[in-house]
Amino acid sequence: MSILVLAEHHDGVLADATAHVVAAAQQIGGEIDVLVAGENVAAIAEAAARPDGVSRVRVADNAAYAHLLAEPTAALLAELAGDYSHVLAAASTTGKNVLPRLAALQDVSQLSEIIAVESADTFKRPIYAGNAIATVQSEDALKVITVRATAFDAVGEGGSASVEAVDFVADNAQSRFVEEQLAESDRPELGSAKVVISGGRGMGSGENFQLLEGIADKLGAAIGASRAAVDAGFVPNDMQVGQTGKIVAPDLYLAVGISGAIQHLAGMKDSKVIVAINKDEEAPIFQVADYGLVADLFEVLPELEQKL
């Protein structure tokens, strides 16, 4: 068996998620290759050679793969897929965009967002917003799989895989990158932060999210939000935690002014320790919180910042 992992990278940096996907690949077993596709990705290829367990890095460095648009990237993966029994990517917006397209090109099913490897053909994945866990077995010759990064511990970095160029260039006349508007943040990435503090509709306004910033700075935390806070326009949507936003599983998750709708819980209920601060003691968030504080967040947050 041999496994191809599509490397995730942003702004010239290999994303943490890649080492988590390699961990899932190790559990499947077999030779592990990592594909780095993009434009000017030599440094990323070097970084992709370091995670433990990687035997070979294949590099497709070409303008055709800039921004990893779905059409050329899926065509590239389809070109390489014949060498592999499994193709894996993180269940990020990139992986979700590209892998189903690859699967259909190869006439195989795709398994989305696996959280456990039972064997080389059997996997666990959440369905119904994480309210049920399905065990599924694929009989396809090629298994195309996206991996929930937070469900697998990242592998270490002691490897020194060989790096080889891939010459195939996909032609793409159908889609063109126009622009990207990325939210700027000095804080850790939401998906991989050890501590996350999230605000909900109870925050009342976008300005009030500043109350979370001092606490986030002290804890080295990323700041998240519920869908209600995003829909109310308090914060941009890439901060959303939930079924339709990001799935997080930090050591500590602080939910502030969040009621705890099913949609939100789907994105954070695998956190190790959950703290809820809410003035409504009947809020469903208290049913999953390890520590609950029934109080007005406007009184509690400044006090918490001061005492940390």
Partner 1 sequence: MKILVAVKRVIDYNVKIRVKPDHSDVDLTNVKMAMNPFCEIAVEEAVRLKEKGVASEVVAVTVGPKAAQEQLRTALALGADRAIHVETEERVESLAAAKALAKVVESEQPGLTILGKQAIDSDNNQVGQMLAALTGLPQGTFASEVVIENDKAQVTREIDGGLQTVELTLPAIVTTDLRLNEPRYAKLPDIMKAKKKPLAVTTPAELGVEIQSRVTLLKVESPAERQGGIKVGSVDELVEKLKNEAKVIA
173 forms part of the interface with partner 1 (CB under 8 A): yes
Distance (Å, whole) CA 59 – CA 63: 13
176 forms part of the interface with partner 1 (CB under 8 A): yes
Range 115-134, binding partner 1 (CB under 8 A): 122, 126-134
Whichever of 5 and 228 has its CB closer to partner 1, that residue is: 228
264 forms part of the interface with partner 1 (CB under 8 A): no
Whichever of 129 and 166 has its CB closer to partner 1, that residue is: 129
114 forms part of the interface with partner 1 (CB under 8 A): no
Distance (Å, whole) CA 10 – CA 16: 10
Give me 229's structure tokens.
């806070």
Whichever of 45 and 102 has its CB closer to partner 1, that residue is: 102
For the chain, the C-alpha Rg in angstroms (whole number) is: 20
Whichever of 67 and 201 has its CB closer to partner 1, that residue is: 67
**CA-angle at 264, arms to 261 and 265, nearest 5°:** 85
**CA-angle at 163, arms to 162 and 169, nearest 5°:** 150
Whichever of 128 and 168 has its CB closer to partner 1, that residue is: 128
CB atoms within 10 A of CB 263: 18
Residue 137-166 contact track with partner 1, rule CB under 8 A, x = bound: xxxx--------------------------
Q: Which of 92, 184, 108, 98 is nearest to 142 (CA)?
A: 108
12, 58, 60, 65 from 166: Cα distances, Å? 19, 6, 5, 12
Q: How far is the CB of 139 from partner 1 (least distance, A)?
A: 5
Range in contact with partner 1 (rule: CB under 8 A) among 47-55, 111-119, 155-163, 196-204:
111-119
Q: How far is the CB of 307 from partner 1 (least distance, A)?
A: 5
β partners of residue 14: 9
Range in contact with partner 1 (rule: CB under 8 A) among 28-36, 156-164, 196-204, 230-238:
230-238
Distance (Å, whole) CA 26 – CA 228: 38
Whichever of 49 and 111 has its CB closer to partner 1, that residue is: 111
CB neighbour burial string for 228-245, b if at least 16 within 10 angstroms, e if fewer:
bbbebebbeebbbbbbeb
Q: How far is the CB of 107 from partner 1 (least distance, A)?
A: 8
112 forms part of the interface with partner 1 (CB under 8 A): yes
Q: How far is the CB of 199 from partner 1 (least distance, A)?
A: 17
Q: How far is the CB of 43 from partner 1 (least distance, A)?
A: 19
Asked if residues 205 and 264 have their Cβ atoms less than 8 Å apart, the reply is: no
Q: How far is the CB of 239 from partner 1 (least distance, A)?
A: 10
